Structure 1
Amino acid sequence: MANHPIMSVLTSIGTLTSRPGAFLVVLVYSVLWMIFDRQSLNWHGAATLFTWAMTLFIQRAEHRDTQAIHAKLDEMLRSNSSASNITRIDDQEPEEIEKHRVRKQQGD
């Protein structure tokens, strides 16, 4: 697939935005904004920073929920010996996972 490196980078960025370091980036950005251009940090600027922070909070919560679901499903698959070995499917790109789901649904 020609776009595979780009898709991989996008997936990695999505994962990185759910890490605590992303909040540090927002904090450093806002401190630098206050230091270098305090006049432009008005209500619109504060709303921008707030929106950015809320987006990271939402991303973090979704990542936590997704990881919990994956852990539960992995445990269920390990306990069921007749289930196919798909516990490593989460290493694939989202498009590949969708293709896998379509193939399995067509096979049923």
Structure 2
Amino acid sequence: MANHPITSALTTIGTLTSRPAAFLVLLAYAILWMIFERQSLDWHGAATLFTWAMTLFIQRAEHRDTQAIHAKLDEILRSDHAASNITRIDDEEPEEIEKHRHRQQLGD
């Protein structure tokens, strides 16, 4: 399941939506909406754009926090040579990581 194309695509999309370019896509979409469908850009349209923008802000903050945690854990793992067998888990899909964590918790 780790190499399933749908899960890989979802992970890639999640990463791409945390990039600054996603905000440029939103801006381009809003401009095109104003140009081609100005009459439909009412309060509901503004709410749609605002919701999309807030989703991107949340995704960006979540990605930043995750990257900070990963950097801290990488530093800890580099200092503890006994933990070197776990460093390849970054390549796994989220579901596989959850299974690994569950197995570790059962072993404790």
| TM-score, with length taken from structure 1 | 0.93
Whether contact under 8 Å (2:17, 2:56) holds in the other structure is yes
For structure 2, list consecutive stretches of 5 or more residues without a partner in the other structure: none
* CA drift at 1:89: 1.2
Instruction: After TM superposition, give the deviation of residue 74 of structure 1 in Å.
Output: 0.7
CA distance in 2, matches of 1:58, 1:44: 21
CA displacement 1:13-64 (0-9 Å, x = unmatched): 0111001111011000000000001000011101110110011011001100
% identical equivalent positions: 83
* 1:38 and 2:38 aligned: yes
> 1 or 2, which has the higher helix percentage?
2
Unaligned runs of 5+ in 1: none
Partner of 1:57: 57
1:38 is matched by which residue type in structure 2? Answer: R
Shift of 1:80: 1.2
Q: Which residue of 2 aligns with 1:17?
A: 17
Compute the TM-score of the two structures, normalised by the length of structure 2. 0.93
CA distance in structure 1 between the aligned counterparts of 2:40 and 2:23, rounded to whole angstroms: 21
What RMSD, in angstroms, separates the aligned Cα atoms of the two structures? 1.5
Q: What number of residue pairs does the alignment pair up?
A: 108
What is the Cα deviation at residue 105 of structure 1? 1.3
Contact 2:2 2:96 (8 Å CA) reproduced: no
